[in-house]
Structure 1
Amino acid sequence: MHPAQELEELLADGEELTIVCHNNPDPDCLASAFALGRIAMAAGIDEHHILYSGDISHQQNRAFVNLLDIDLKPFDPAAVQDRPEGSLLAFVDHAVPGANNRVPEGTPVDIVIDHHPNEGIEARFIDHREQVGATATILTEYVRELATEMDAALGTALLFAIRRETLGFLRGVTSAEYDAAGWLHEHADGALLRTLSTPSITGATVDAIAEAITNRTVRGSVLISGIGRTSERDALPQAADYLATLEGVETAIVFGIVEDGVQLSARSTDSRIHIGNVLDGAFSDVGSAGGHREMAGGEVPLGIFADYTTDDTQLFAIVDQVMTARLVAELNLTTEAETRTKADGEDE
């Protein structure tokens, strides 16, 4: 039986569906949740909710939610822990309670659909495919298999998510993404896709990216940069994407203080490095981190850092030293030559 049919049978026995996005959801997670909600409605579930925690701060993500009119609700623990009988709980684009989500560890999950590396996944229905480039690819397969009613909003959401997750079919892409995109092309709104691809950017995001450029440190082909405190969490992956294109750089890691934690974003084209494993090895004992071979992220609670000082400049000096030291040690860069670019453009 095709996984889509197994999922449909499970949904047909449910009365309500709660779909939980991972923290700070991206288009792949949002589009997958959107599609799963449509599949659930077709299977006879009248009520479903899409919950998220963290922020939707990236300008593309905000435009994505607003223009496609995706109905999101802030995460409510009671909606997960006090569900009535017949209510199903689903994870899309993440897999384990407590890992990149606010669902308490040990919470029973009914449905998991994900493409990220993970272990210890437990659910009544699991479709975990590390080999595909996007969770939206899996949901597109379901929509096709089940002949789910399509419209421009759903088609655009899934196609944009696949394009964004694979960086325009250049990162982690497989033949499944091309096949899904070819089919979705007939259902998507081209003008809306262009609008989503070129959203306006805030001044705070520009400032954060500029800070990452100024503070970059290069050891061999590895670039590490800390940007201090920022309100623009999604400036970190944008900065990592940009810095990874610098000549001679194969791995770029950017971190900064966002609210009460240190957020990280990393990119790598070095075949010797699995950047998800690098972040996991460096920070799994103090936070949560991981991801794919070429793209990863993480979060470390400020915790003890914040006990030293309330001054952001002094606080980040401590954070910068500790985070960089852990990354250097995990990447075995201690003997590599270092070039630090200062604000005045001089190297030391």
Structure 2
Amino acid sequence: MSQSSPTARPARELRDLLREGEAVTIVCHNNPDPDCLASALALGRIAAAAGVEEWRIAYSGEISHQQNRAFVTLLDIDLQPFDPAMARDRPAGSLLAFVDHSVPGRNNRVPADAPVDIVVDHHPAEDIDARFVDHREGIGATATIFTEYVRDLDADLDEELATALLFAIRRETLEFLRGTTRAEYEAAGYLHERADTALLRQLASPSVTGATLDAIATAIEHRRTRGSVLISNVGRTTERDALPQAADYLRTLEGVETAIVFGIAGRSIHLSGRTTDPRIHLGDALDDAFGDVGAAGGHQDMAGGEVPLGVFADYTDDDEALVDIVEQVISARLVAELRLSEESSG
């Protein structure tokens, strides 16, 4: 495994590895966001410039957040549904790359034993194993790393790619208010004059579906606070990406430092949380609470998780009763993990 560093010129190491391949499959994490999608697009462009004959971007889950859908549509990003065979049955000369995630089977549907060639990520992670690894937890966005690559390789940066990378950095750092480093400002300065400002405005203000508004309204109605922690649920929803939007909104409620929202989407329970409390590492807290039954984790101030309905669904075929059971069990685990008082207020 090669653990790259700024002094090792990781962009050139990456280019040299890409030149060994004839094709590369770039795997996004489940339900990819702009940081993941822009990074995948940048890696594809770098691969093409390195002489790779074929590259493709694959993802699992859904692209349901209105901003993510607008990102894919307006930038005309060609995506393919991920098939495990893409990782398991690769021909000689075919490379497998992860962007914005790092470990097979974690927040992706890649078989856990699949060998990975390239990993570029900024999320906390352990046990990363690949031929090329550029893992920088201190950086605010994976798109920042790819902007560095584009600069170091003097790659062709058209309006489309510049706009994608700039929007991804802005979105991932919440307009430079979360996890921002000097590298994000330098990357944004480099990208700004090359980006399409009109397109940036379109991406920043996509239309919102009625189902998203309904989910946020339900989260507001069901909120319960224990001290500075707010926990809410949206019941069953078709809008998984309404959960982080609800968490963002509820975190701004007076007296609230931590907001966690969960709900059932498809055959899984999804969670999303936000905090400004320095005593809580939200990614670790959700991992400790749900890592034994699902996948959860993230940053200190922003995290999420997914728990298969599994055994919950075995208790009842009554959907209303199922929602009640999920609400009780998920809330109880959060209360226990965060050591909250059982007393709550609406």
**Fold-level similarity (TM above 0.5):** yes
Instruction: Please state if 1:78 is matched with 2:78.
Output: no
Structure 1 stretches of 4+ with a deviation exceeding 3 A read none
2-side partners of 1:76 and 1:284: how far apart? 25
1:245-256 matched pairs, under 5 angstroms: 245-256=252-263
The sequence identity of aligned pairs, in percent, is 71
What is the rounded CA distance, in whole Å, between the counterparts of 2:85 and 2:170 in structure 1?
35
Work out whether residues 172 and 294 of structure 1, in 8 Å CA contact, stay in contact via their aligned partners in 2.
no
Whether 1:95 and 2:102 are equivalent positions in the alignment is: yes
Which residue does 1:219 correspond to in 2?
A: 226
Aligned ranges 1:113-192 → 2 under 5 Å: 113-192=120-199
What residue is the counterpart of 1:37 in the other structure?
44
Residue identity in the other structure for 2:180: V
Indicate conservation of the 8 Å contact 1:93/1:114, yes or no: yes
Structure 2 unaligned blocks of 5 or more:
1-7
Alignment match, 1:6? 13
Structure 2 residue identity aligned to 1:151 = D
DSSP-derived class of the 2:61 partner? coil
1:273 maps to which of 274, 280, 287? 280
Shift of 1:334: 2.8
1:234-283 deviations in Å (ceiling 9; x for gaps): 00000011111111110000000010010000001000000000100100
Indicate the SS of the match to 1:339: coil
Structure 1 residue 76, shift from structure 2 partner = 1.2
Q: 2:241 maps to which residue? A: 234
CA distance in 2, matches of 1:252, 1:311: 29
Q: How far apart, CA to CA, are the structure 2 residues paired with 1:18 and 1:187?
A: 27
Per-residue Cα deviation, 1:198-224 (whole angstroms, up to 9, x for no partner): 000000000000000000010000000
Say if 2:313 is the partner of 1:306: yes
Residue matched to 2:302? 295
Is the Cα–Cα contact under 8 Å of residues 231 and 258 in structure 1 kept in the other structure?
yes
How far apart are 1:151 and its partner, in Å?
0.6
Partner of 2:26: 19
Offset, 1:115: 0.4
Q: CA deviation at 1:79?
A: 1.6
CA–CA separation in structure 2 for the residues paired with 1:308 and 1:76: 31
TM-score normalised to structure 1 length: 0.96
Partner amino acid for 1:315? L
Amino acid at match of 1:246: L
- Structure 2 CA distance, aligned partners of 1:186 and 1:338? 50
- Counterpart CA distance in 2 for 1:276 and 1:257 is 20
Distance 2:154 2:117 in 1: 23
CA distance in 2, matches of 1:140, 1:38: 12
